[in-house]
Chain A
């Protein structure tokens, strides 16, 4: 993309003093142009100005000065007109010069009106536009196969129009969406509603996006099969371009068509370098939904207490400024924030069970304090308190044993993970340890009542493994062989899997 270069002075009229008058004059010319009235004298211009609602009185000098200025900016061309019948000298004086909009003037005013309309319009994600693009592509294929050049031309123009609408709308909508995400709403209630509505809107748009894009891609393929160059040439013929300026407008026109066509491809097909833009739209939409929901969460959360919390913090700050004693400061902190740690002894009596509750502390044997602590002075550098009893070691050993058994258990449960529903008969041979776990799980599941869809669900008591169990429709009996004997029972269908460690989700009840 080449950077845009705006001709100098093109929009000068909108930024200087008296810009209102300049805009009004251009507006008047544009209105007159609509009536195919292109060259205006001073009187005509005044009349047109009145008709578009210019209320202020306007002297001829002022008007002429303004027109001269516009002429300097090359927005208005003065034309000497000798064809009229002038009745008086004054009449000639007033009307021998007529004015009309130059090309640049037309462009400048079009820019202004377009800017105003963008300001006023709202973007949208219109599914209808996507449908229309799909339909026009279909029509194009049909016309290529047996239609006239003119029809091809009009259809192609419509297609480009829709694509343009999609682009501008999406741009605008995305702009608004990003602004919405940035706003920290003052009026939380409406803000809340707007965001909820937006989320619903986005979700609706995204649901059908995939399918529509697929259709459009299919049809683009169809057109490509028939040759884009041919399509464009036939459209050119159908366009019946006039050549007013002496140069052949054909090549430039074809170039524009090609650019538009590439735009269509970029939107829906993409290339190796860039994914189709529709996918970006998808991503943007999804991201926006997530962000909006987060913002909503935050709003509801803060609406609940933020304002009062702000006031509470301010009040507390004032209290902290006036409470008398240092100690009171810490007590206020501990009370208000509740973040202080508890405090407890860590040394217990050797055999807590042996001392009756009625004994006084004085009578009971003291807890064992490491003698090292009392020999402070004699030890140049003492380390941590020595372990007083072997209880710690016993406990550590026990913990270790438990951990080992847990690891074994984990491994076993991992082996039991069926990775999907299977029949019991598929557990061909099981070692006894595994079989025991399986039996526990089956027992837990069978102890629950089947839910509506006819399966039973249970989880182990630590909630890490889940079993789903269905009764077999054919009620066959199966035999499981274990090293210590056979187990006969219904050939249940089971699905055993580790429960996702995602918090909060629990199915079934613990066995």
Chain B
């Protein structure tokens, strides 16, 4: 092997790992949105596809002509901290109305190649009027128009809609706004990542709420694992291949998607699989190919992405006051605390640093405490149950350094 070949191999490894993490950070990568990641994924699609297929069983669809690449994440979500967000300052999460409108609008858009915003609103109004469960869209109300605009802008951002003329935002001000869209039907269809279409279940709407947990599992069941990922069926025997495949994919899906994987959360089978020599080897290989730093500890494993390509938020950092508060609280959270204690501690922090966190200084300690705990919970560092906050093992990662004096490095 010459030096050249080495060079190329290194470059390829780097590109593949960036492509993998890019897709994890944004499962839908469009050429218009992030050209450099799209380009990586397009050029290295084979190894990237192999990686996702082998470790997670997730498909990667690259459509160079249509200008997007899609990682089809199939997984019943247990984490409510990754909502769809409004594309405005503040990036507030979607509420019920916006989610509903997003789905209704998508269904209406699938039938036309080109449409104006007035037609979208009209069709949506008709669709919601004929449905007995969904409240009818009232385009005369400003807040309803805002909700519709937020849904449409999310679709624009994902590439399912392309603006030919006008700006969606104008519709908030007036119903007569003129906006013309071109619909990318293929991409809209691909927005759904479900192996089982919800409409095929034909479930009476009354049962949806009470069977919600079960539903999430139902619509993400994939045929390839047979009965392996349906623990409630004890009918047929599970083939060892399917069983192994399911073990690997179920473990890696969590590892690759979540901040920490605790062994205590795994089933005995999964634990045995992950801690076997084979499992350990796979762990290391997956981390290396994905460009992650693998951290194995007695209580669990986690992947570190030093470039933060594959994560939506960072901790610890100072992007938000809550993140800073979370880090400071973590220093005090050596044992379980009640939420009241956490609030008190937050209050003390605030009064000790009167120049900090101005938005929370006046009686905002409860709010700040809540947000800080949420940050910690979302990173798998604490568990919250019955008003008690319990630190989890990985929280020790961010402990205060032993008294080795650190130089105050000034930030660049």
Whether A357 sits at the interface, judged by CB under 8 Å, is yes
Q: Is the interface of A mostly helix, strand, loop or mixed?
A: helix
> Chain A nearest CB: distance from B297 CB in Å?
5
Query: Which B1-22 residues have C-beta < 8 A from chain A?
Result: 2, 4-5, 7-12, 14
A376 to B349, CA, bound (A): 10
Determine if A322 and B133 form an interchain contact, defined as CB atoms under 8 angstroms apart.
yes
Residues of chain A contacted by B409 (CB below 8 angstroms)? 370-372, 386
* B270-291 interface code vs A (CB 8 A; 1 in, 0 out): 0000000000100000000000
Candidate in B43, B199, B396 with the most chain A CB atoms within 10 angstroms: B199
Contact indicator A373/B353 (Cβ below 8 Å): no
Choose among A333, A336, A360, A369 the residue that contacts B297 (Cβ–Cβ < 8 A).
Answer: A360
B411 at the interface (CB under 8 A from A): yes
Q: A residues within 8 A CB of B27?
A: 338-341
Q: Is the CB of B310 within 8 A of A305?
A: no
Contacts of B318 in A (CB 8 A): 372-373, 376, 382, 384-385
- Chain A residues positioned under 8 Å from B311 (CB to CB): 341-344, 346
Contact A313–B304 (Cβ < 8 Å): no
> B191 on the interface (CB 8 Å rule)?
yes
For the complex, give the distance between the alpha carbons of A298 and B106 in Å: 17
Interface residue? A504 (CB, 8 A): yes
Q: How far is the CA of A302 from the CA of B349 in the complex (A)?
A: 57
Distance in Å from the Cβ of A450 to the closest Cβ of chain B? 23
Q: Per a CB cutoff under 8 Å, which of B131, B292, B294, B411 touches A318?
A: B131
B400 at the interface (CB under 8 A from A): yes
* A contact residues, total (Cβ < 8 Å): 90
Task: Give Cα A337 to B64, complex, Å.
Answer: 21
Residues from chain A with a CB closer than 8 A to the CB of B304 are: 344-348
Q: Which residues of B contact A310 (CB under 8 A)?
A: 107, 110-111
Stretch at the interface among A220-228, A276-284, A324-332: A324-332
Contact: A313 with B110, CB < 8 Å? yes
A475 to chain B, nearest CB (A): 28
Does any Cβ of B come within 8 Å of A476's Cβ?
no
B340 interfacial by beta-carbon distance below 8 Å: no
Chain B positions within 8 Å of A402 at CB level:
7, 10-11
Q: A331's contact among B77, B294, B306, B355, by CB below 8 Å, is which? A: B77
- The answer to whether B94 and A341 have CB atoms under 8 Å apart is no
Chain A, Cβ-Cβ closest to B24: A342
A322, B206: Cα distance in complex, Å: 8
CB distance from B49 to the nearest CB of A (A): 13
- A437-B4, A440-B2 known; A337-B193 Cβ under 8 A: yes
A503 at the interface (CB under 8 A from B): yes
A298 and chain B: residue at smallest CB distance: B185
Q: Are A338 and B193 in contact (CB under 8 A)?
A: yes
Q: List 22 A–B pairs whose Cβ atoms lie within 8 Å, in order of A's numbering.
A: A298-B185, A311-B197, A313-B106, A315-B199, A319-B205, A329-B99, A330-B80, A333-B83, A339-B193, A340-B82, A342-B257, A344-B259, A345-B379, A348-B304, A349-B397, A359-B297, A360-B396, A362-B393, A406-B7, A409-B4, A436-B2, A503-B42
Residues of A in contact with B (beta carbons under 8 Å apart): 184, 298, 301-302, 305-306, 308-324, 326-349, 352, 355, 357-362, 364-374, 376-378, 380, 382-387, 392, 399, 402, 405-406, 409, 436-437, 440, 460-462, 503-504
Which 10 A-B pairs give the minimum distances between C-beta atoms? Answer: A377-B353, A338-B193, A338-B73, A327-B80, A334-B77, A317-B103, A313-B107, A311-B199, A341-B312, A357-B296
Enumerate chain B interface residues (CB-CB to A < 8 A).
Answer: 2, 4-5, 7-12, 14, 24-28, 42-43, 62, 64, 71-84, 93-96, 99-101, 103-104, 106-107, 110-113, 127, 131, 133-135, 158, 185-186, 188-189, 191-194, 197-201, 205, 208-209, 212, 215-216, 219-220, 256-259, 280, 292-299, 302-308, 310-318, 324, 327-328, 331, 349, 352-357, 378-379, 393-402, 406, 408-412
